[in-house]
Chains A and B, each alone.
Chain A
Amino acid sequence: MFPNGISHYAIGGMVMGIGVALLYATTGRPGGVSTFFSTAWSWVVRTPFFRQTAFLDTRRWRFIYALGLLLGGLLYLYSGLPVALSHVPAWKLALGGLLIGFGARLGGGCTSGHGICGLASLSAGSLVMVCTFLAVAIATNWAFRMLGL
C-alpha cells in the first residue's frame, strides 16, 4: 500500500494543512486554489463574467496566495530535500490541464477547495465532489492504462 513509506506523506500533508489553517485563522478565507485561475483573467478580460465582484474583490489575495505556493515550491528546491524527476507527456499535461481548469471552475473548486476546505467545513456537497473527482480519475487512469496510453 505504501511502497515509498508514509512519513513524508503525513508530514507534507500536515504542513499543507497548517498553511490552509493559517489563512483561515488570520483572514477567515477558505484557501481554495482554482478560483485564482478565473480571477487572474479579470485583469485582462473585460467581459461581465470576469468583472464580477467576487473576482475583483478577491483577485489580489488569490494572486498573493498563488505566489506563496510558487515560493513554497522554490524554497523546497533550495532546501536540499530530494526532488524526483517527472516525465509526463506534454499532450497529457495540455489536455489534462484544460479539462482541470474548465472542470474545477464549473465544479466550484478543486482538490484544495473541495478536498481540504470543503471537507473541513463538513460540506456534504464537497464530499460528493471529492468522491466524483476520485471515482472519475481512477476510472480514467484505468482506461488509459488499458488502452496503453
Chain B
Amino acid sequence: MAKGSAFLDTVGTLVAGLLFGFGLAVSTMIRPESVLDFLSFDDLGLLLVLFSAVAINLLVYQLLPRIFDKSLLGGAFQQRPFQLDRSSWFGGGIFGLGWGICGVCPGPAIAGLGAGNLDLLIALAGIFAGALLHGLWAARRQSMST
C-alpha cells in the first residue's frame, strides 16, 4: 500500500469507528438499560436501530461490489469469514446469555465508556477475559483433536 493510501486508510477507519460510536450514543444503545428494556419488550427501539443500520448497509454491501472492482482505497471487498456449525451456534447462545444478563455488546461497551460510563470498564474487562479464555480453550481443543 502506498504511503498516502495508508494514511487515508487510517483516517477512514477512525472516522468510520467514530460515526459508529456516535450513532450508538445517539440511539442510546450505549446504555445497557435501553437494551434490557428491549429484551423485556418495554421499548422496541433496538429493532429500529438495527433496521436503520442494516438498511443502509444492505444497499452498500450489495451494490458497491457490483459496481466497483475494489474499494475506494484499493482494497478488495471482503467477505466475512463465517461458517455456521454446532460450535459457532453454541457460541451465539453463550453471547445471548451474556447479553441478556447485562445488556452490553462489544461496540456499545467501547462507545459507552467514551461517553463517560466508567462502569463499562467492568464489562470490557469481562469481554477481554472472555476473548482470552476462548483463545486458550480453542488451542487446547485443537491440540486434543489432532
Contacts and interface: CB of A to CB of B under 8 A. Distances in A.
Contact of B13 (A13, A61, A95, A102): A61
Nearest to B48: A9
A9 B26 CA distance: 7
Given A45-B132, A108-B91, A116 B50 contact: yes
Interface on chain B toward A: helix, strand, loop, or mixed SS?
A: helix
Contacts of B44: 1-2
Interface string A105-149: 111111111111111111111101100111111111110110000
Nearest to A125: B84
Interface residues of A, number: 115
Nearest to B57: A120
Interface of A: 1-4, 6, 8-34, 36-38, 40-41, 45, 47-50, 54, 61, 64-77, 81, 83-84, 86-88, 90, 92-126, 128-129, 132-142, 144-145
Interface residues on B, range: 35 or more
Contacts of B90: 106-107
A138 B97 CA distance: 9
Nearest to A135: B96
Given A86-B33, A96-B101, A100-B130, A20 B136 contact: no
A97 B91 contact: no
Given A2-B43, A94-B122, A133-B96, A28 B102 contact: no
Interface in B53-97: 53-58, 60-62, 64, 70-73, 75-84, 87-97
- Counting from the closest, the 4 A-B pairs by CB-CB distance are A68-B17, A97-B126, A101-B130, A72-B21
Nearest to B79: A121
B140 to A, nearest CB: 9
A21 B60 contact: yes
Contact of B103 (A19, A29, A88): A88
B90 to A, nearest CB: 7
Nearest to A70: B114
B14 A68 contact: yes
A24 B73 CA distance: 10
Nearest to B122: A93
Contacts of B133: 98, 101-102
Contacts of A8: 26-28, 45
Q: Which of A8, A16, A132 has the most CB of B within 10 A?
A: A16
A117 B14 CA distance: 18
